[in-house]
Amino acid sequence: MAMSWLESPVEAGELRHRVDIERPAIDGSGNLTGDWIIVKAAALAAIRPLSGREEYVAMQARPMVTHRIKMRWVDGQLVEPDYRLTMAPSKSGKITKKLRVFNVVSVVNIRESNHSAMLKVVENPQELI
């Protein structure tokens, strides 16, 4: 029986996107500042939008998950819920002024092997400044 994309380990050819992994900044009192700190720049990831059926099922719980992102598990758990991934506009000739922002809802260690992670995320496009 073949493994689904969700269960299979990361393969090098599918990691086509470069994303920055960011965590919320916290001040000396433990309060969120509204800023973000880059934890890892240019991490490789595979990004897949949910199918129509998956999106319908995801609407039953909050927040609504819009994409699944698969990446390598690096030096322990690198991404946590409440982190975000940002992806700069494509340089493939398309003209876009949007920064893609994916807010992490959950992180799954695929097959508990410390090799690959599956992130459920919500996309929030942001205007570039």
Q: What is the pTM of this model?
A: 0.76
Token pair for 21: 């992994």
Q: Report which of 64, 18, 20, 62 is spatially closest to residue 38, judged by C-alpha positions.
A: 20
With bands split at pLDDT 50, 70 and 90, how would you rate the model's confidence at 101?
very high
With bands split at pLDDT 50, 70 and 90, how would you rate the model's confidence at 129?
very low
- Which whole number is the average pLDDT over 83-98? 73
Fold of 14-127: Thrombin, subunit H (2.40.10)
Element (H, E) at 60: none
- Which whole number is the average pLDDT over 15-40? 92
Domain residues of the chain, as ranges?
14-127
Percentage of the chain beyond pLDDT 70 is 68
**Cα–Cα dist 124/83, whole Å:** 13
Query: Residue 29: what residue type?
Result: S
The total of other beta-carbon atoms located within 10 Å of residue 46's CB is: 18
Average pLDDT over the chain reads 79
